[in-house]
Amino acid sequence: MTDFLQELIASVLLLLGGGLMLIAAVGLYRLPDLLTRMHATTKAGALGAALIIAGVAVHFADASVTARAVAIIVFIVLTAPVAAHVIGRAGYFVGVPLWDGTIKDELRHHYDPETHVLRSGLEDRDER
């Protein structure tokens, strides 16, 4: 791969990753509640970080750097959605208010705040 093409690909990946991180930051600032903010930051932030790390791997073009970059990308892609889910669920259960424009709250009738038990909804389907 020529040096110019390598630098061009690395630059494009870094710019795209930086743009997605900027979108995540704007989403964090502009969106109204915990769940929508987490949605924006998790999706755009994880992909942005992955693109930036891929850009670094292309820039250095070294096998050890690329292997580490791939491991980091896999780690981010696997852990970011799980962490967002756990934080969102904890926020919902401690009573962080939803946005006033939220139309449907599917967990409201399945969660018992006294016992902290969340029914799966399968019981409702079996009764039908």
Domain range annotation of the chain: 3-99
Q: Is the dihedral of CA 111, 116, 117, 120 positive or negative?
A: positive
| Mean residue pLDDT across the chain | 88
Contact 41, 24 (CB under 8 A): yes
pLDDT digits over 77-86, tens only? 999 999 999 9
Among residues 76, 58, 61, the alpha carbon closest in space to that of 8 is found at 58
Q: Name the pLDDT band for 110 (thresholds 50, 70, 90).
A: confident
Give tens-digit pLDDT for 3-54.
Answer: 999 999 999 999 999 999 999 999 999 999 988 899 899 999 999 999 999 9
